[in-house]
């Protein structure tokens, strides 16, 4: 059978001549049978040939595990031809997951001490390829001896093997510290490159090695200066750059040695300036050296002028025709924008030009950098550029672009009118892509700018008349028309063009929104409430509005039906209260995060029970505005009409949209006075006063990002716990694509509400909140497991941690 087997060349030829995969498998299977028979017969003369054919089959993807023991036999053979194929087979067929690899440790040890360069090279290559931690510990002394051998061939391979050993077993660093200092004086390219790599690995894994090798910084500086100024042999030059691989490796080592060390940084400052000014960036090799130079300058304690030079190099990279180089430049500038903002600002026009790149990864990175460059001095021009990009950018970038513009406008808006105009343009261009809280924020902004009410309602009316497909825009426009419809009809606004609007046209436009198939239920809710409010702001007949309310009184959507029934009741039974209930919202100032709302409500109710009531702000949904993922902090308009209500009746109004709890007690019958009539209309239970607030708990903090939990236990449902997760960001860069996932033990029931957004603005901007509803029927101790994923300073971060120190008030 052995005699009939093929030679390696013949096997390769037959496999290439196979026309189908089945024919190829047939040839391989037949030859593998011959190889097994040869191994079984123990033919010492042809074993290496049979193993060579098996390795070729292994390279094609066919199983070859039965050749592992034959590799061990060939390695132990005294013949070089057998050792060569045996070591090759060991590198391909063995790894540290298999116990068989430990059997060759003694063979490698013997070959390393033989003194034959070729055999030592084979053993070192095999050890650096598949050597496990146990093998590295056993063979480290032999490798250390070979580091100072006279043969440059053996020394080069020994250095590379030492690199592998340090990566596998970092505690072996003490063994290789003394030889490295001598190897740095080598003139051989391969040995010097391997030595610098070995020192880099040692410094990254051992503080003692880092302190030890800071003494060789002048020698490294001298070596790199020689490469840059005088060059070396043309054999190692690439595109006119002298030995770029060695230059890059030395720069990486200098970056590690100079980090947080003033003396080392001062030693290499002049050298880095020479490399930055004398390296040709027209070739990829030169660009690689310059990029490593920039990274080194930014990572050490370099001079301010040197850092500006590094930023300018990245600016030149932005003009390179190679997309990869442009992407690297954008990514690096994004990391530097916080520490060297003014230097990066000089390249703002070039960065803006990169927004038009057809490559999606380039345009996304340019968008992130452009948003990071926005400040109070350039917010107008940068926002205009970004809005132009928003109109033509790919759909997968619109959400990030729109959210970035809104955040920038919120942080750096020069005037309220400019802020409103910016948000309106974003909503008009990409309304369906904006963050969930955009509608709430714009409503708050307009409500707090009394001097811009007429201007805002006219702008929104004109935008709504042109397009009703952008749902966030339609919702804000409907709210504004409902609140300030009288200002729309007056026609006196100096800041806009004269606009004559008839009452019937406004009503027809809102009816069109209600009937449109593009309108969401939340949008119809805004339009329905706007029509109801217009009944007190328009001077015409309200029969048309009453007909719409009657139609929606039988709507399939429960929310719309409920509002329509309530509004019909106001028309038919309580018309004398309609004007008071539907009066304008008071001016709204920006409120804090939702975490303190429960404490605010309890404090306000306690004060109202002792003194005469005054208009109060609280976290409620205004009449007819219960839709949307984010509730707006708006004062309830009816509170100003009921100065004689007791605190318990006020709580009924605050719980207008909450269902009755199991333990709730209904109030006794009330006299049909005007104030009490509204309570009969709502027919709601009385809710007990809320308990004292539970202290907040900070559970996470990293690079300016903080996560705080606040707790509320509704008095009527003691087994229910409401947790508000609040994310704040005090760093200089926005936290984007923020996702918070929560898990609880099986005895609990968890409902995770939608967050207020996925971006946490920098420098203490508007926090991001998310509500958790946890049901604890057994009143067991509560534990939470959280997983956070987000992007910060251009890097993706994932954190998983457990919170087991929650206050006892959350579960007892």
How do residues 137-151 score in pLDDT, each as one tens digit?
Answer: 999 999 999 998 888
* Range 186-215 average pLDDT: 90
Weakest-pLDDT range from 1-15, 353-367, 395-409, 603-617? 603-617
Tell me: pLDDT of 648 over 80.
Answer: no
What are the tokens at 633? 């902090």
Output the pLDDT for position 683.
43
pLDDT at 468 over 80: yes
Over the chain, what is the mean pLDDT? 81
Backbone angles phi, psi at 707, to 5 degrees: -125, 120
Task: Give me the pLDDT at residue 4, please.
Answer: 64
**8-state DSSP, 232:** -
Core vs surface per residue 600-610: b (16+ CB within 10 A) or e: bbbebbeebee
More confident residue, 732 or 534: 534
Write the burial class of residue 332 (CB in 10 Å: 0-12 exposed, 13-18 middle, 19+ buried).
buried
The span from the CA of 467 to the CA of 558, in Å, is 27
Band of residue 742 on the pLDDT scale cut at 50, 70, 90: very high
pLDDT of residue 600: 46
Res. 257 pLDDT band, cuts 50 70 90 = very high
Helix (H, G, I), strand (E, B) or coil at 726: strand
Tell me 730's DSSP state.
Answer: -
pLDDT of residue 581: 87
- Give residue 645's pLDDT band: very low, low, confident or very high (50, 70, 90): very low
pLDDT over threshold 80, residue 99: no
Which residue did the predictor score with more confidence, 381 or 590? 381
Q: How confident is the model at residue 217 (pLDDT cuts 50, 70, 90)?
A: very high
* Residue 533, pLDDT above cutoff 50: yes
Q: Are 473 and 466 in contact (CB under 8 A)?
A: no
Measured CA to CA, the distance from residue 154 to residue 191 in angstroms comes to 10
Q: Give the Cα separation of 538 and 531 in Å (integer).
A: 10
Look-up of token digits 């880095």: 272
Tens digits of per-residue pLDDT, 652-689? 333 333 343 344 334 344 344 444 443 343 344 444 45
**Of the ranges 49-63, 328-342, 452-466, 658-672, which one carries the lowest mean pLDDT score?**
658-672
pLDDT at 779: 84
* DSSP letter, residue 665: B
Is a pLDDT exceeding 90 seen at residue 327?
A: yes
From the DSSP assignment, how many helices (H) and strands (E) are in the chain? 35, 10
Which has more pLDDT, 690 or 174?
174
User: Does position 264 have pLDDT exceeding 50, yes or no?
Assistant: yes
Question: How many other CB atoms are there within 10 angstroms of residue 281's CB atom?
Answer: 19
On whether the CB atoms of residues 752 and 772 are closer than 8 A, the answer is: yes
Q: What is the DSSP letter of 249?
A: H
Tokens (6 digits) for 477: 């426009």
- Quickly count: other Cβ atoms within 10 Å of residue 435's Cβ: 22
* pTM (2 d.p.): 0.64
Burial class (CB in 10 A: 0-12, 13-18, 19+), 77: middle
Q: Identify the band that residue 163 occupies on the pLDDT scale cut at 50, 70 and 90.
A: very high
pLDDT greater than 60 at residue 537: yes
- Strand ranges across the sheet with 784-792: 735-743, 784-792, 795-803
Residue with tokens 């997760």: 725
Label residues 285-313 b or e (16+ Cβ within 10 Å = b).
bbbbbbbbbbbbbbbbebeeebbebbbeb
The gap from C-alpha 554 to its chain's centroid, in whole angstroms, comes to 45
Q: What confidence tens digit (pLDDT) does each residue in 591-620 have?
A: 444 434 444 444 443 343 333 333 333 333
Largest CA distance in the chain: 114
252-279 mean pLDDT:
90
d(CA 729, CA 761): 6
Tens-digit pLDDT profile for residues 472-510: 999 999 999 999 888 888 766 656 566 777 888 889 999
- In our burial notation (b when 16+ CB lie closer than 10 A, e otherwise), range 229-266 reads eeebeeebeeeebbbbbbbbbbbbbbbbbbeebeebbe
- pLDDT tens for 79-88 read 898 999 999 9
Instruction: Tell me the pLDDT tens digit for each residue of 361-390.
Output: 999 999 999 999 999 999 999 999 999 999
3-class DSSP state for residue 692?
coil
Residues 500 and 11: their CA atoms lie apart, in Å, by: 90
- Give the rounded distance of the alpha carbon of 35 from its chain centre: 54
Q: What share of the chain has pLDDT > 70, as a percent?
A: 85
pLDDT of residue 620: 32
Mean pLDDT, residues 222-243 taken together = 81
CA–CA distance, 418 with 414 (Å, rounded to integer): 7
Cα dihedral across residues 374, 380, 386, 390: positive or negative = positive
- Cα angle 566, 569, 570 (rounded to 5 degrees) comes to 90
pLDDT confidence of residue 601: 42
Phi, psi torsion values for 237, nearest 5 degrees: -85, 145
Cα 147 from Cα 164, distance rounded (Å) = 14
Q: Is the dihedral of CA 466, 471, 473, 475 positive or negative?
A: positive
The pLDDT, as a whole number, for residue 39 is: 85
pLDDT number for residue 770: 92
CA gap 34, 50 in Å, rounded? 9
């Amino acid at each position: 059978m052995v005699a009939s087997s093929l030679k390696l060349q013949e096997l390769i030829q037959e496999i290439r001549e196979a026309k189908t995969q089945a024919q190829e498998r047939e040839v391989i299977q037949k030859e593998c049978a011959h190889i097994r028979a040869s191994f079984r017969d123990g033919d010492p003369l042809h074993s290496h040939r049979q193993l060579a054919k098996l390795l070729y089959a292994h390279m094609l993807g066919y199983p070859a595990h039965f050749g592992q023991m034959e590799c061990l036999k060939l390695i132990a053979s005294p013949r070089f031809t057998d050792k060569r194929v045996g070591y090759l087979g060991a590198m391909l067929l063995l790894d540290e997951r298999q116990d068989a690899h430990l059997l060759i440790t003694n063979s490698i040890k013997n070959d390393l001490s033989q003194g034959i360069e070729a055999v030592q090279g084979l053993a070192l290559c095999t050890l650096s390829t598949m050597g496990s931690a146990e093998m590295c510990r056993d063979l480290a002394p032999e490798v250390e001896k070979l580091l100072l051998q006279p043969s440059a061939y053996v020394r080069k391979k020994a250095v590379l093997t030492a690199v592998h050993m340090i990566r596998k077993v970092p505690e072996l660093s003490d063994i290789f510290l003394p030889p490295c200092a001598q190897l740095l004086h080598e003139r051989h390219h391969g040995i010097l490159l391997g030595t610098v790599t070995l020192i880099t690995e040692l410094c990254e894994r051992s503080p003692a090695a880092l302190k030890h090798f800071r003494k060789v910084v002048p020698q490294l500086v001298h070596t790199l200066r020689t490469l840059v100024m005088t060059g070396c042999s043309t054999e190692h030059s690439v595109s006119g750059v002298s030995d770029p691989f060695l230059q890059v490796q030395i720069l990486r080592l200098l970056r590690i040695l100079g980090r947080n060390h003033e003396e080392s940084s001062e030693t290499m400052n002049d050298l880095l300036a020479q490399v930055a000014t004398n390296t040709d960036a027209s070739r990829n090799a030169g660009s690689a050296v310059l990029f490593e130079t920039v990274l080194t300058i930014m990572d050490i304690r370099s001079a301010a002028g040197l850092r500006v030079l590094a930023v300018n190099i990245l600016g030149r990279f932005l003009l390179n025709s190679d997309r990869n180089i442009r992407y690297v430049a954008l990514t690096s500038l994004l990391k530097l924008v916080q520490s060297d903002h003014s230097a990066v600002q000089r390249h703002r026009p070039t960065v803006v030009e990169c927004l038009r790149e057809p490559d999606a990864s380039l345009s996304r990175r340019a968008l992130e950098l452009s948003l990071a460059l926005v400040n109070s001095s350039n917010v107008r021009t940068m926002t205009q550029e970004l809005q132009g990009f928003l109109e033509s950018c790919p759909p997968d970038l619109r959400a990030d672009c729109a959210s970035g513009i809104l955040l920038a406008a919120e942080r750096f808006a020069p005037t309220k009118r400019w802020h409103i105009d910016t948000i309106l343009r974003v909503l008009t261009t990409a309304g369906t892509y904006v963050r969930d809280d955009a509608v709430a924020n714009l409503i708050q902004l307009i409500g707090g700018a009394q001097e811009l009410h007429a201007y805002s309602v006219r702008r929104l009316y004109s935008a709504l008349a042109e397009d009703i497909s952008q749902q966030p825009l339609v919702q804000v426009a409907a709210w504004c028309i409902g609140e300030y419809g009288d200002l729309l009809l007056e026609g006196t606004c100096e800041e806009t063009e004269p606009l004559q609007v008839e009452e019937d046209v406004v009503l027809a436009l809102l009816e069109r929104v209600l009937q449109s198939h593009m309108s969401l239920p939340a949008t119809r809710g805004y339009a329905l409430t706007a029509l109801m409010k217009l009944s007190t702001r328009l001077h015409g007949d309200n029969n048309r509005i009453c007909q719409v309310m009657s139609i929606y009184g039988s709507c399939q959507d429960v929310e719309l039906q409920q509002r329509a029934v309530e509004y019909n009741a106001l028309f038919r039974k309580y018309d004398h209260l309609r004007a008071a209930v539907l009066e304008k919202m008071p001016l709204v100032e920006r409120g804090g995060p939702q975490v303190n709302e429960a404490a605010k409500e309890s404090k306000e109710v306690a004060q109202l029970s002792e003194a005469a009531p005054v208009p109060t702000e609280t976290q409620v949904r205004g009449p007819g505005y219960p839709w949307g993922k984010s509730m707006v902090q708006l004062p309830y308009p009816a509170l100003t009409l009921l100065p004689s209500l007791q605190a318990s009746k006020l709580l009924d109004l605050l719980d207008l949209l909450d269902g009755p709890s199991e333990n709730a007690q209904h109030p006794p019958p009330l006299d049909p006075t005007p104030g009490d009539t509204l309570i009969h209309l709502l027919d709601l239970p009385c809710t007990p006063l809320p308990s004292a607030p539970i202290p907040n708990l900070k559970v996470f903090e990293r690079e300016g990002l903080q996560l705080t939990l606040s707790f509320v236990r509704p008095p009527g449902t003691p087994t229910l716990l409401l947790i508000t997760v609040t994310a704040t960001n005090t760093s200089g860069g926005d936290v984007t694509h923020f996702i918070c996932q929560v898990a609880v033990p099986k005895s609990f029931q968890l409902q995770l509400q939608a967050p207020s957004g996925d971006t946490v603005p920098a420098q203490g901007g508007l926090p991001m909140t998310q509500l958790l509803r946890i049901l604890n029927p057994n009143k067991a101790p509560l534990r939470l497991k959280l997983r956070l994923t987000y992007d910060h300073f251009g890097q993706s971060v994932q954190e998983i941690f457990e919170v087991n120190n929650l206050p006892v008030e959350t579960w007892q």
